[in-house]
Amino acid sequence: MAASGVPIQPRDQLGRYMLPQAPEDAGYYVYGNVGGVPGTGHLAQYAHPNMLSVIFWVEREWQAIDDRKFGIGNISVANGLKYDHHTHMKGIEMDIRPVRKDKMVGHAARCSYMDTAVYDREATIKLVRLFLQHPMVRLIYFNDEKVQQATGGRVKYWPDHNDHLHIEIWERP
Ligand SMILES: [Zn+2]
């Protein structure tokens, strides 16, 4: 902690910053890991400053309409290195979880759009609309057709995107 009480965020050599690890009053929580190793999620949460702006804007708007936290997983590892994605190397791509009906958070709060008992489609649509309102958001992959239809075709199918939404921003806004 700095003297001011403001934590210093780790920064990599490319100018990406580690996402603040979900302070208590944040509208999001963090999950994920690197290479399946528990407790390493933060190592894959280096974000471009523009991505941080998007996250902070959406979390404020989200907190105004909902008291659940949304889950943020992999963004990028430090210094643009490749890990278990072909993408996610520039800090401009991020995976988030669909919204659950309950308030569960943490690594075990995984949820697919087919888990009808826990998946909250209406809330997920609201969250997606917030992201799409931001001018820096370029595309979203998520396989729930109802979400795709409700958002004017800006959310698209991509293999393996049943339990998370891939959100990508423009590299140069
Ligand atoms: Zn992704």
CB 106 within 8 A of CB 33: no
CB 105 within 8 A of CB 156: no
CB 142 within 8 A of CB 163: no
Please say if the pLDDT value at position 8 is more than 80: no
What are the backbone dihedrals phi and psi of residue 54, each rounded to the nearest 5 degrees, phi first? -60, -45
Number of domains within the chain: 1
What's 91's domain CATH number?
3.30.1380.10
Q: Can you tell me the distance from the alpha carbon of 11 to that of 31, in angstroms, rounded to the nearest whole number?
A: 19
**What spacing in Å lies between the alpha carbon of 166 and ligand 1's midpoint?**
4
Please say if the pLDDT value at position 2 is more than 50: no
What residues make up the domain containing 98?
17-169
Q: Considering only residues 85 and 159, tell me which one the structure prediction assigns the higher pLDDT.
A: 159
Poorest-confidence range of 12-16, 20-24, 129-133, 153-157? 20-24
Q: Considering only residues 133 and 2, tell me which one the structure prediction assigns the higher pLDDT.
A: 133
**What spacing in Å lies between the alpha carbon of 5 and ligand 1's midpoint?**
33
**What spacing in Å lies between the alpha carbon of 83 and ligand 1's midpoint?**
12
Give the pLDDT confidence score for residue 65 in this predicted structure. Answer: 97
